[in-house]
C-alpha cells in the first residue's frame, strides 16, 4: 500500500510540478555531436567578425556559399529561392522563400550584430609627454573600468578625401601590434580607489596608447604624433584629416576560446548579440523550403537604441519585406499581421557570485537551454514588448515538438535594472514577437561567457521557428 501511494505521489509530482533539469542530463548523443561542430563554427565566426561591418562581410561570404544571391527590386521569387540584401554595409537581411504566399506571413529571426565598444573621435590623435594616444567615445553600455589594461585591436574603415575607402584591421594577424589603455598603478591610486566603481575611470580617460617613438631628425613639436601619422600614411595612404570621415572601432584582442576543464563554455568578445545572430543565420542556412518564408534580420545600432538607417527602427527591413511582397502582389500589412518573430537577443545568466540582483525562480541558467523572455524593459516593463499568452504557447509547442531544451526567464530582479531588444520595434510593425536568446555571464564585458549547450539549442530553436507550419 505504501509503495503504491509513493508511486502515485511520484506520478503526480512529475505530472504537476515544473522541475527543470540540466540540459546535459537530457542531451542526446546526436545533439551532443552536432553541438560540438556547431560551436567550433561559431567560434570561427566570432573571430572573423569583430565589428558589424566584418560580420556583414562574413555573413555574405557564407550565404553565397549556400546559394544565396543579392535580391534586387523587381526580381521574381519562387519557393526555395534564397536571397540577401545588405544595408549600407552594416546590417543584412536574408530570406528563404516558402511554399505559402507571403500573405500567410513570414517566420522571422531578428538579432543585432553591433556590440559595446570604443569608437575613435573625429579628431582622435594627440601627443602628450612624448606618448601618442587616440581619443575614444564609448559605444553602448560598457563598464569603463573593464576596458583598461587589456590588449585591444583597431578595426574599421577610412574614407579618404578622394572618396576611396580603406579597410583597417590592426591586431588580428600573427605578429601585428596591439594597443591598450593604461590604468593607474595601485601605489598612487589612493584617491582613485575612494571613488565609486563607475567613476574610477572616466570616458575621457579611455585614451588608446599607440606609440612613443619620435620622428627622426625632426626638431618640431609633436614628433611622436608625426611618426604615427607617417606610419599610417605609408600603410594606408591617409593624412590626419581623413580621421574625420572614418569609422574606427577599438575592440578587445581576445580570441574566442573554450572555457573550463570540461570545455563546456565559450569565452569571447561580442557574444551579445552575435551568439544569437549566428544562430539566426546558421539556422536559415540549414533549411530547404519552409512552409512560410523564413527571414533573418541582422540589425545594427541596437546597443544605442536601434536608431539610424542601419538600426531596427529604420525603414530598411520594411523596404526589403515590401519588395518581397510586391513580387507576389501581397500587401506588406497583410504579411506582417500573419507573421511571427523571435527577437533573438541574449539574456542574463544567473551568476552565483552576485545573487542579490537575481530572482532565482525566474532567472536563466547556464546549460538549461535557450532562454525565452515574455517581456523585457526596465522595472515596470518600461519600453518592453510584452508577448501574449497565445504567442508564448505557440513557442512552447514549437520548441517541445522539435526537441529543443529551453527555459523561461527575466533579466534580474524587478527593481534591479533591465534592458531592451529589437522586439518592441517588430511588435510596432504588427508582428507577434517573443524575446529569446542565449544566457550570458559577464554580459557587456570585453570577455563574455556562454554555455555551448545553450548556444546550440538557440540554433535548434531558431530552425524550429523557421520550419514551423
141's grid cell = 553600455
Q: What is the rounded distance in angstroms from the CA atom of residue 435 to the CA atom of residue 429?
A: 15
Can you give the pLDDT at residue 232?
97
Strand order in the sheet with 265-268: 257-259, 265-268, 448-451, 439-441, 347-348
What is the percent of the chain with per-residue pLDDT over 70, rounded to a whole number? 99
157's grid cell = 574603415
Mind listing the pLDDT tens digit for each residue in 335-377? Answer: 999 999 999 999 999 999 999 999 999 999 999 999 999 888 7
What's the start-to-end Cα distance of the chain, in Å?
Answer: 47
Burial (0-12, 13-18, 19+ Cβ within 10 Å), 200? middle
Which comes out higher in pLDDT, residue 418 or 440?
Answer: 440
Q: Annotate 394-461 with DSSP letters as a single string.
A: HHHHHHHHTT--EEE--SS-TTT-EE--SHHHHHTTT-EEEEEE-EEESTTSSSEEEEHHHHHHHHHH
Mind listing the pLDDT tens digit for each residue in 40-84? Answer: 999 999 999 999 999 999 999 999 999 999 999 999 999 999 999
pTM score, whole prediction: 0.95
Contact criterion met (CB below 8 Å) for 134 and 120 = yes
CA distances from 228 to 167, 220, 303 (A): 18, 15, 32
Is residue 128 within a helix (H) or strand (E), and if so which, with residue range? strand 117-128
Could you give the dihedral angle defined by the CA atoms of residues 171, 173, 177 and 178, in that order, rounded to the nearest 10 degrees? 30
Residue 110 has pLDDT above 70, yes or no: yes
Residue 417 has pLDDT above 80, yes or no: no
Which residues contact residue 150 at a Cβ distance below 8 angstroms, ignoring those fewer than 6 apart?
Answer: 180, 181, 252, 253, 254, 446
130's grid cell = 612624448
Contact criterion met (CB below 8 Å) for 330 and 102 = yes
> Of 165-179, 378-392, 427-441, which gets the smallest average pLDDT?
378-392
Q: Mean pLDDT, the chain, as a whole number?
A: 94
Average pLDDT score over residue span 448-466: 98
Can you give the pLDDT at residue 3?
53
Q: What is the rounded distance in angstroms from the CA atom of residue 340 to the CA atom of residue 465?
A: 9
Mind listing the pLDDT tens digit for each residue in 185-209? Answer: 999 999 999 999 999 999 999 999 9
Average pLDDT score over residue span 168-181: 95
Mind listing the pLDDT tens digit for each residue in 428-445? Answer: 999 999 999 999 999 999
**Which residue reads 573554450 in cell numbers?**
258
Q: What is the rounded distance in angstroms from the CA atom of residue 206 to the CA atom of residue 179?
A: 12
224's grid cell = 611622436
CA quadruple 304, 305, 311, 312: dihedral sign: positive
Please, how many CA atoms are within 13 Å of residue 40, restricted to the half-sphere of its CB? 5
Q: What is the rounded distance in angstroms from the CA atom of residue 126 to the CA atom of residue 123?
A: 9
Contacts 24+ apart (CB under 8 A), 233-240: 236/158, 236/166, 236/168, 237/160, 237/166, 238/158, 238/160, 238/166, 240/125
Strand partners, 249: 119, 155
3-state secondary structure of 223: helix
Amino acid at each position: 500500500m505504501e509503495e503504491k501511494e509513493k508511486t502515485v505521489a511520484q506520478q503526480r509530482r512529475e505530472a504537476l510540478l515544473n522541475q527543470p533539469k540540466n540540459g546535459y542530463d537530457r542531451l542526446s548523443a546526436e545533439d551532443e555531436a552536432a553541438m560540438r561542430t556547431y560551436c567550433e563554427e561559431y567560434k570561427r565566426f566570432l573571430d572573423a567578425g569583430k565589428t558589424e561591418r566584418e560580420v556583414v562581410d562574413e555573413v555574405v561570404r557564407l550565404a553565397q556559399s549556400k546559394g544565396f544571391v543579392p535580391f534586387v527590386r523587381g526580381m521574381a521569387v519562387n519557393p526555395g529561392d534564397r536571397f540577401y540584401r545588405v544595408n549600407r554595409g552594416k546590417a543584412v537581411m536574408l530570406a528563404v522563400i516558402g511554399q505559402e504566399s507571403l500573405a500567410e506571413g513570414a517566420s522571422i529571426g531578428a538579432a543585432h550584430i553591433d556590440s559595446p565598444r570604443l569608437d575613435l573621435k573625429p579628431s582622435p590623435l594627440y601627443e602628450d609627454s612624448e606618448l601618442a594616444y587616440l581619443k575614444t567615445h564609448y559605444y553602448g553600455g560598457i563598464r569603463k573600468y573593464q576596458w583598461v589594461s587589456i590588449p585591444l585591436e583597431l578595426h574599421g574603415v577610412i574614407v579618404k578625401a578622394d572618396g576611396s575607402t580603406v579597410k583597417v584591421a590592426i591586431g588580428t594577424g600573427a605578429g601585428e601590434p596591439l594597443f591598450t589603455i593604461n590604468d593607474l598603478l595601485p601605489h598612487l591610486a589612493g584617491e582613485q580607489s575612494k571613488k565609486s566603481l563607475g567613476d574610477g575611470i572616466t570616458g575621457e580617460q579611455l585614451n588608446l596608447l599607440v606609440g612613443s617613438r619620435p620622428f627622426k631628425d625632426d626638431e618640431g613639436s609633436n614628433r611622436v604624433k608625426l611618426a604615427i601619422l607617417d606610419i599610417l600614411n605609408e600603410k594606408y595612404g591617409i593624412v590626419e584629416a581623413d580621421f574625420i570621415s572614418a569609422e574606427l572601432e577599438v575592440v578587445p584582442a581576445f580570441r574566442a576560446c573554450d572555457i573550463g576543464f570540461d570545455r563546456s563554455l565559450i569565452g569571447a568578445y561580442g557574444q551579445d548579440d552575435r551568439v544569437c545572430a549566428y544562430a539566426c543565420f546558421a539556422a536559415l542556412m540549414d533549411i530547404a523550403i519552409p512552409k512560410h518564408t523564413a527571414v533573418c534580420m541582422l540589425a545594427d545600432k541596437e546597443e544605442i537604441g536601434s536608431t539610424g538607417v542601419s538600426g531596427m527602427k529604420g525603414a530598411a527591413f520594411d523596404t526589403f519585406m515590401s519588395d518581397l511582397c510586391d513580387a507576389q502582389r501581397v500587401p506588406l500589412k497583410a504579411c506582417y499581421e500573419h507573421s511571427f518573430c523571435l527577437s533573438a537577443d541574449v539574456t542574463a545568466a544567473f551568476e552565483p557570485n552576485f545573487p542579490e540582483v537575481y530572482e532565482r525562480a525566474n532567472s536563466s541558467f547556464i546549460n538549461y537551454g535557450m532562454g525565452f523572455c515574455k517581456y523585457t524593459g526596465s522595472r515596470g516593463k518600461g519600453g518592453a514588448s510584452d508577448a501574449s499568452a497565445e504567442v508564448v504557447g505557440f513557442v512552447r509547442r514549437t520548441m517541445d515538438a522539435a526537441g529543443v531544451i529551453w527555459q523561461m526567464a527575466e533579466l534580474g530582479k524587478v527593481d534591479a535594472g533591465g534592458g531592451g531588444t529589437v522586439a518592441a520595434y517588430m511588435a510596432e510593425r504588427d508582428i507577434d514577437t517573443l524575446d529569446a536568446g542565449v544566457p550570458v555571464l559577464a554580459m557587456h564585458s570585453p570577455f563574455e561567457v556562454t554555455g555551448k549547450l545553450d548556444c546550440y539549442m538557440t540554433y535548434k530553436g531558431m530552425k524550429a521557428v523557421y520550419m514551423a507550419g
